[in-house]
Structure 1
Amino acid sequence: MTLSAKFFAATAFAALMGASSAQALVVYSTTEEGSAARLLAAFTAETGVKTQMVFLSSGPALSRIEAESDRPQADVWFGAPSENHILAKERGLTQAYVSTNAGDLGETFKDGEGFWHAIYTNPLAVGVRTDILEKRGAPIPASWEDLKNEAYKGLIQMPSPQSSGTGYTFLLTLREIMGEDAAFEFMAAMHPNVQTYTQSGTAPSGALGVGETPIALQFSPGFLKLVDEGFPVKVVFPTEGVGAEVSAMSILKGAPNPEEAQTFVDWMTSASGQEQLSVAKTYFMPIRSDVSAGEGVPALDTIKLISYDPAFASENRERLVDRWVDEVISQ
């Protein structure tokens, strides 16, 4: 840990203790730090409930919540994929609260007993530099199947399933759509069109922005940011369907400020709270079908989402990635 990181951790903890005594809502956030800060500021402005945020990545957050379970120091865990919140529920670290907005959320975006609610979702997407494809006389893809087009030879960047959860989500998505054997046949056929498999899940959008590649595959926020910044980028959600990550929040068991925590959950799942995802320029997709992610971005109910069993994904990751290495990149 760097000196600045140590200083941040120390000051954050000191502030956290002060916030607890002042009855501020204490939030352990796993969502991107700047975005989370803007969302919490909007919540305070609208409700008057003060907040104190401590930023932690998923693993450390869960470990800290578990270590503090006898004497909770926070009220809400904000962020991390829903699978992490399912695990927290199983370990008895969170408490049930069914939001007043639960009826407006799809089943994918909430726990049936109220132990967690989704915050946002990031669907997989294909980002396209329309100017580059136009110069090459190549069409804009509309489906996964289109990515096998020989016109795209060496033009696609996507994350590697070996190192990236985004790349693994792509593999799981194709498996759900096509069946396992057909999915691997598809990825092998698409392989000649892949310029590079990146180590990072967000690297393809960076390459798209600088024109290093005209077609990129990852979760949608990086592409939406490019569009917002004026780049000639089109965001494509393939017609067969896309997998997505679902970020969630839970109220911690024994939370010092349960009423404020419930107010926060209700606000974040409301139309007003969800609209802040766009206002705060998070580039996250709202979980409500009646809220737009922003100008030029289709509503969530116009995107075909593909779900898969998180337990299967965890138990079969090594096997599926090994098969990808053997049958796709080792051709």
Structure 2
Amino acid sequence: MKRVCIGMMVLAMILPAAAFAGGRSETRERLVVYSSVDEENAKKILDAFTADTGIEVSFVHLSTGPALARMTAEASNPQADVWMGAPNENHITAKERGLTVSYTSEVTLALDPVFRDPDGYWTSFYMNPMGVGVNTSALAREGLGMPSSWQDLLDPQYRRQIQMPSPATSGTAYNVITSLTMEWGEEKTFEYLKALSPNIQTYTSSGTAPAAAVAVGEAPVGLQFTPAFFQAADEGFPVEVIFPSEGVGFEAPAVSILKGSRNIEAAQKLVDWLVSVDGQNVLTRERTYFYPVNPAAELGPGMPSFDSLRTISVDPEWAGAERQRLVERWEDEVLPLN
């Protein structure tokens, strides 16, 4: 009898503790994120979010195409809460497919309208301007001058000295076409691209490959979005970043909440945190070399303010609708000249 009483007392002590622990586990906030931000930077950003909020995050890295395909396949039974990364025109595609839901707050509505969907379906949380990276040692070795404009890149001195991505495989290069089309019109843009083609050393399949070639001097000049150029300079490579005087396009990767999210409140907190000053400062503190979209956030060393750049805005809906036609025109008219 004594043993039974003691056992019942121990059980009475254990059960409430177990129930409390179980309840705490059930109410702990969690998120599953599909990330089209590169794995290294996604981990930096999401680890900082967890540290600030206590919300646990697991993420799967998927490039843009596979992410859209997976979310579409899982539409009737979503396996993630948030899609983070990929240029905003891809989030427009997700919106049109009914894969995401609208969310706005005081934090998101305070952003420049170019960085948010008017209906709240996506919010850009960083931007990257297009830039020309130059290896100053390679320029000196080849006896080349420093370019300062798009027109400078047509100079015969740069024949086979420039690397840029292929629009057929890279959204980075497609941004060159769309931004210059916004500025000059389609016909003048294609005349420019045809004149530039003989100066291209190689059209890379990856949007970030030119920066690697410029850093080691394989190519004196490269064209792509700027983070990898700024990183190379920060790491001691003889790289400078030039913003062509006629203006540059930019990408504005976004975040969307997936329809059917099982953790909607935590997803909303992630969206708000990403564009808050605290979240935006993580981009600089963790050396992502991304430009914040919140003007109150800090900038990394050597990065001129967004306001100081002459930027060219592109209508993301137009860019998405025209992609196939413009890329096919580039393949037919420009690529054969290289």
1:316 corresponding residue in structure 2: 322
Say if 1:72 and 1:127 are closer, same or farther in 2 by CA, change over 3 A: same
Match of 1:176, as an amino acid? M
Task: Write out per-residue CA displacement over residues 35-57 of structure 1, whole angstroms, 9 at most, x where no aligned residue.
Answer: 11111110111122222223233
Say if 1:252 and 1:315 are closer, same or farther in 2 by CA, change over 3 A: closer
Segments of 5+ residues of structure 1 without an aligned counterpart are 1-18
Contact 1:292 1:299 (8 Å CA) reproduced: no
Q: Distance in 2 between matches of 1:185 and 1:26?
A: 46
Q: Distance in 2 between matches of 1:173 and 1:318?
A: 16
Instruction: After TM superposition, give the deviation of residue 315 of structure 1 in Å.
Output: 3.9
Segments of 5+ residues of structure 2 without an aligned counterpart are 1-24
Q: Tell whether 2:285 aligns with 1:270.
A: no
Q: Distance in 1 between matches of 2:307 and 2:47?
A: 28
Q: 1:221 aligns with which of 211, 224, 227?
A: 227
TM-score by length of 1: 0.86
Identity %, equivalent residues: 50
1:4 corresponding residue in structure 2: none
Q: 1:44 aligns with which of 35, 40, 50?
A: 50
Match of 1:233, as an amino acid? V
Match of 1:276, as an amino acid? V
Q: After TM superposition, list the pairs within 5 Å mapping 1:1-331 onto structure 2.
A: 22-331=28-337
Match of 2:138, as an amino acid? I
Q: Distance in 1 between matches of 2:75 and 2:327?
A: 36
Say if 1:132 and 1:314 are closer, same or farther in 2 by CA, change over 3 A: same
Say if 1:65 and 1:126 are closer, same or farther in 2 by CA, change over 3 A: same
Instruction: After TM superposition, give the deviation of residue 248 of structure 1 in Å.
Output: 0.8
Q: Distance in 2 between matches of 1:21 and 1:33?
A: 28
Instruction: After TM superposition, give the deviation of residue 177 of structure 1 in Å.
Output: 1.6
Say if 1:237 and 1:99 are closer, same or farther in 2 by CA, change over 3 A: farther
1:11 corresponding residue in structure 2: none
Contact 1:292 1:298 (8 Å CA) reproduced: no
1:15 corresponding residue in structure 2: none
Q: Distance in 2 between matches of 1:327 and 1:90?
A: 31
Say if 1:103 and 1:251 are closer, same or farther in 2 by CA, change over 3 A: same
Q: Distance in 2 between matches of 1:226 and 1:248?
A: 25
SS of residue in 1 equivalent to 2:292: coil
RMSD over aligned CA atoms reads: 2.3
Say if 1:20 and 1:76 are closer, same or farther in 2 by CA, change over 3 A: farther
Instruction: After TM superposition, give the deviation of residue 175 of structure 1 in Å.
Output: 1.6
Instruction: After TM superposition, give the deviation of residue 246 of structure 1 in Å.
Output: 1.8
Contact 2:90 2:320 (8 Å CA) reproduced: no
Say if 1:149 and 1:290 are closer, same or farther in 2 by CA, change over 3 A: farther
Q: Distance in 1 between matches of 2:67 and 2:321?
A: 23
Task: Write out per-residue CA displacement over residues 263-306 of structure 1, whole angstroms, 9 at most, x where no aligned residue.
Answer: 21111001111111122222222222333441001122222222
Instruction: After TM superposition, give the deviation of residue 117 of structure 1 in Å.
Output: 0.7
